[in-house]
Structure 1
């Protein structure tokens, strides 16, 4: 049981850091980043899927910056 609680805490910490990274990455309008994070929290209950969606948003944001 102790390992599972520690693992959940670690995953929650990673998700929080990724949420902050999304808000920082969207420099033009940080409100969009905040709304996106809120939508991800309400739409996805599974933490692993949420991490993958956040990483997808970060990757797409980086790709769009490179093309600009």
Structure 2
């Protein structure tokens, strides 16, 4: 069943600023440059088990060190 993207406009507004990405083999990476820090989302597909992993990393820590 196709998704009507115009009906989901408010859902996409949470991804502002928009990220850029690349794909190499079974890996897709996105960089999202938020004002406080950049986030990297890394998706990796494992065809032998038909599964995906998602790793999210931040350029800076969420809280200052004590």
| Common topology (TM > 0.5) | no
Give the structure with the higher percent strand.
Answer: 2
Which has the larger helix fraction? 1
- Normalised by the size of structure 2, how large is the TM-score? 0.29
TM-score, with normalisation over the residues of structure 1? 0.28
The higher-RCO structure (CA 8 Å, 6+ apart) is 1
Name which one, 1 or 2, has greater alpha-carbon Rg: 2
